[in-house]
Each structure stands twice: as C-alpha cells, then as structure tokens.
Amino acid sequence: MLVYLRLFKESFSFALNALANNRLRTFLTLLGVTIGIFSIIAVLAAVDSLDRNIKSKLNALESNTMYLSHFTFSPTDVPKWKREQFKQISYSEYRYLKSALADVEHMAFQLFVQRERIRYESELVDNVNTVAVSYEFEDIQRLEFESGRFFNEVESNSGRSVVVIGSEIANSLFGEVNPLGKKIRLYGQRFTVIGVVKKEGSALFGDSNDISVFIPVNFVRNQFGENKRSIIPFVIIKPQDGVNPDILKAEITQLLRNKRGIKPDEISPFFISAVEGLQSLVDGIISSLNVIGWVISGFSLLVGGFGIANIMFVSVKERTNIIGIQKSLGAKNKFILFQFLFEAVILAVLGGLVGLIMVGLATMVASSLADEFEFVLSFKNMLIGLSISSFIGLLAGVVPAISASRLDPVEAIRTGF
C-alpha cells in the first residue's frame, strides 16, 4: 500500500512540475476546458434557477385550483382542428355550475380581452392588461390592496363601470395623488377607481397584477356580447378543502355534458386544467432545456477534451528521451502512466475550477441586476462540473499516457540524440 501511495505522490509531483515548466501551453489548454465547464454549469445553474423560481410561484398558487375552458394549458390527444370547433364556455353555464356544485368554495368567470389604453386627464398608459372577471376572483387569487377594495357582487352582476388598478398603473396615472374615487377613461367610458392592488412583482404566467386593471366581467359582456372570437371565456374553480379533485372533475364534466346534450360516444368539447397540470408542463419544459443545454455545452467540452489530448501527445513527444531515462533508472510502466494521467486530470480540474469560479461570479452579478429573479449555483452543479472535468481529463489523457508507458527505453533515449 505504501508503495502505491509513494507512486501516486511522485507521479503527481512530476505532473505538477511539467505543467509549471510550460505555463503558456498550460494556460491555453485550460481555456478549452474552462469554456466547456463554464457552458455546462452556467446552463445547469440557469435552468435550476428558472425551475426554482417558477416552482416557488406555483407553490404560492392553490394547487387544487381548476380552469374550465374550451382550450387546454397542457398537451392533449385531441387534434387542433377539432379543438378549434369546440364551443366556448358561456356565462350561463358558469351560473349553472355554480348553483349545481356543492363541493366548490369559490367559482369565478373571466374573459381574456385585448389590451386597452387608459387615460386620466392628461396622463395616458397604453397596452394595459385588462382583466374582466366576476367578483369571486378576489377570493380565489387572494388579492391584497394598498387602498380601497374589489368590486362586490352587485357591481359585478350589473356590470357597473368600476375599476381596480395595479400599483404601477396607479403610479403612472396618479403619481402622489390618491386614486380612489377618481375617473379614468377605458373603452371610451368613465370608470370609477375603487381599489389599488398591492405591489406583487413579476407574475409566473402572463402579466403581473401591478400592470393590470380589473373590471366587472358583465361590463364587457354588455358591451360586446359573448360571441366575439377575440374574447375568450373560462371559469376558475376553487374546490373546498379535502375534496377529491378527480371526483369533482368528473362531476363538472357530467353536469356540463348533460347541459349541452352531448352523446355518450362523443368526446367532451371542453377541458378542465389544474395547477398540478401546469407543474407537469413546467417539469417537461425544464427537462427539455436541460437536454438542449447539455447538447450545446457538450460540443464546447468536446473541444476542450481534444485540446488536452493534443497537448498530452505533444508532451509525450517532447519528453520521450526523459521517459527513456526514467525507465532505464527503474521507473515502472505504472509510474509513467500515472505521471501523464495526473497531468491530464490536473489540467482538466484546474480548467473546471476556473469555469466554476466564473459561473459563481456570473450568478452573483446576474442576481444583483435582476430584482425579482435569483440565480443559484448549487453544490450539486459544482460537483457535476468537477466530476465532468475530471472525467474529461482522464479520458483525454489515457491514450497518450498508455503510449508513453509502453515506450521502449532504448529507443526513447535514442530519440534525444
């Protein structure tokens, strides 16, 4: 055992001396591995950070919340041409389900509408995310307010011209002035501001509440009706605690099929999606991004590996006579083999460490620049980077090391003369 430890120590020492004596060549070789490791770990860190931020926002949502619509958020076997023929969910169907379902805590009706321009006196904001919803939306989304309130059931059902605005919209239109009770122009009409939503930051999907305005859904229905294709309706359903989501989905499906008179052999022309389905969708996207990142970064790492292999072959060629002298003095093949293997692995590991340091600095800079997105370099990714760099060094150095260990000592010494 002591013999092998001494062998490792001497081989390691020879490798360090060889690298120190060829600093420029060592530096240039390191660059290839550094870029490769930097690419892989940077991609992994970025994807992990994206995954962590998305899941933290998903966890803030009610995992059992469901969305009923004629379209779906997740992959489906129903062909696109058939989905395009599905009838949109109507307001009367929302009212029917709300009265028929006993295990639902809250149910809201929402319309996807086009972005609008809003104005207060001389101040104007374009391209505003306009959210047309029923009054239950507040309880489902758990909105918090800087001031004021959400519209109530009477205002919602009658389609009264009241509006709740996000914090950034309030700052853009009113500045330091209290928005409550003020009139803004939207859809060519005057709306009374009754509430300002507390600042929340960026949203997981779509626009943040900070840059949105909320109006009663029946105002839009009264203005445009329900048959305009640019207006997309859906129902948000929040089950009661402890309710089995699969049973509730089956109940909703059966009620809506009966109301529409759908035959037993026909597919349901609507979809019931859940936040859990969004989680699966996110996981699939993250997996795809990881694969793409590995493929792209793998080419960089491959170039670094070839660079190490090339330098190691050059080192064997330059030190052939030294190898011959070492062998003539009693050095074993194992000693020569480990000497060059250590040299290749040390090159790769040093390159990996530099790459990791660069990724660490990049994550700190990126996190400081992004107010609401935190980039994280996990220990797992650091371990992956060092393991990959060690493996690349071992793989790139094994053939040159074997060729060096098999040199004939007489022929090797002769090449130096």
Residue 312's pLDDT band (boundaries 50, 70, 90)?
Answer: confident
DSSP conformation letters of 280-324: HHHHHHHHHHHHHHHHHHHHHHHHHHHHHHHHHHHHHHHTHHHHH
For residue 109, is pLDDT > 80? yes
For residues 196-213, give the mean pLDDT.
Answer: 75
Contacts of 190 (CB under 8 A, 6+ apart): 161, 183, 184
Residue 135's pLDDT band (boundaries 50, 70, 90)?
Answer: very high
For residue 380, is pLDDT > 70? yes
For residue 17, is pLDDT > 90? no
Question: Over pLDDT 70: what percentage of the chain?
Answer: 80
Bridge-partner residues for 118, per DSSP?
Answer: 125
Q: List the chain domain ranges.
A: 2-58+281-414, 107-235
Q: What is the pLDDT of residue 214?
A: 95
For residues 132-138, give the mean pLDDT.
Answer: 92
For residues 295-300, give the mean pLDDT.
Answer: 72
Run of H or E residues at 272: strand 271-274
Q: What is the pLDDT of residue 72?
A: 78
Q: What is the pLDDT of residue 113?
A: 87
For residues 252-266, give the mean pLDDT.
Answer: 89
CA distance 41 to 178: 49
Most distant pair of Cα atoms in the chain: their distance: 102
Q: Are 108 and 66 in contact (CB under 8 A)?
A: no
Residue 149's pLDDT band (boundaries 50, 70, 90)?
Answer: very high
CA distance 228 to 263: 27
User: Both tokens of residue 303?
Assistant: 């170039």
Q: What is the pLDDT of residue 392?
A: 80
Residue 59's pLDDT band (boundaries 50, 70, 90)?
Answer: low
Q: How far is CA 138 from CA 52, 109, 184, in A?
A: 27, 12, 21
For residue 220, is pLDDT > 80? yes
Residue type, position 50, single letter: L
Q: How far is CA 392 from CA 353, 356, 397, 398, 405, in A?
A: 14, 15, 8, 10, 20
For residues 178-184, give the mean pLDDT.
Answer: 90
Q: Are 260 and 29 in contact (CB under 8 A)?
A: no
Residue 76's pLDDT band (boundaries 50, 70, 90)?
Answer: confident
CA distance 213 to 163: 7
User: Both tokens of residue 17?
Assistant: 């001396």
Q: How many CB atoms lie within 10 A of CB 327?
A: 20
pLDDT tens digits for range 80-103? 788 778 888 889 999 999 988 888
Residue type, position 310, single letter: N
Q: How many CB atoms lie within 10 A of CB 243?
A: 17
For residue 4, is pLDDT > 90? no
For residues 241-258, give the mean pLDDT.
Answer: 87
**The residue count for the chain:** 417
Q: How far is CA 393 from CA 89, 203, 376, 404, 405, in A?
A: 60, 44, 27, 16, 17
* Residue scoring higher pLDDT (124 or 296): 124
Compute the mean pLDDT over every residue in the chain, rounded to the nearest whole number: 79
For residue 261, is pLDDT > 70? yes
Closest listed residue to residue 34, CA positions, set 299, 219, 301: 301
E-only strand ranges, 86-240: 104-112, 116-120, 123-133, 145-148, 162-165, 183-186, 189-197, 212-216, 232-239
For residues 343-362, give the mean pLDDT.
Answer: 79
Q: What is the pLDDT of residue 163?
A: 93
